[in-house]
Structure 1
Amino acid sequence: MNLMPRHATGPARAQQGFTLIGLIFWAVVISMLALLVMKVAPALSEFRTIQSMVNKAAREGGSTVPEIRAAYDRYLQIEYGVEAIRSGRDLDVAKEDDKIVIRFAYDKEIALVDPVYLVIKFKGQSK
């Protein structure tokens, strides 16, 4: 009768798993990615808000450039948190093939870790 535990009689197997250094490395990588997402998400949300306001101004704003810019300014008073394009004067309004097209472009500078900044160049037009 063999009184030795069963695992002790077989060949030694290498243990698998994370080392402390590996765990710290992945924690730092995941933390940096989470920080980047948290810093960039508001800028993307602002871009989507501006895009929807521009589309609405192109559809419902009127037929002349001053009417469209005034419509954007009205939508700007309703929306919260739009800082990139603070006035309808910053929009490029044109008429192409009997359709009003509004274009805009701006840069957003995001401070990551001093002195490192991320610059995102946003550009869009009405649909």
Structure 2
Amino acid sequence: MNRQRGLALSALLIWGIVIGLVAILVIRVLPDVIEYYKIRHAVKAVAADSGGKTVSEIRQAYGKYAEVEHIKTFTPAELDVFKQDNQVVVAFSYERRIPLAGNVSLLIEFQGSASARDSGQ
């Protein structure tokens, strides 16, 4: 007698629920992760071109990148610009709270920094 192979209906339903929950989580988190990479790219570009610029000029340059990339989460006023080892460092840090269901939410802390040295100069 041949032994049956396959997946029971109950196992199929459980796997469907698990895959659905993971898909919902990815759909909710992915836009914020994409925006983080846009912010990181803009900060690296601004830091690479920061030689001899003032803090307000660096923030204005980031504002232009943010406008082009449609970055709404992080404003130029929130940038942390300082000097370290005679290099201008542009840093950022922010939190995003993503509601999942009811009173359950996911908190993600994004941060990064760049200097002209990190950008290949």
Q: TM-score, normalised by structure 1?
A: 0.82
1:16-35 to 2 correspondences below 5 Å: 16-35=5-24
> How many Å separate the matches in 1 of 2:66 and 2:2?
66
1:99 aligns with 2:95: no
- Give unpaired runs (5+ residues) of structure 2: none
Taking only the aligned residue pairs, the percentage that are identical comes to 36
Read off the aligned partner of 2:100 and give its amino acid letter: L
Moved over 2 A (4+): none
Gaps of 5+ in 1: 1-11
1:1-127 aligned at under 5 Å gives the runs 12-61=1-50, 62-80=52-70, 82-86=71-75, 88-126=76-114, 127=118
SS at match of 1:93: strand
Deviations 1:70-122 (A, max 9, x none): 11112222121x22212x22111011122211111111111112222111010
TM-score by length of 2: 0.86
- Which region of structure 1 is more displaced relative to structure 2, 102-111 or 61-70? 61-70
- 8 Å contact kept, 2:66–2:72: no
Number of matched pairs = 114
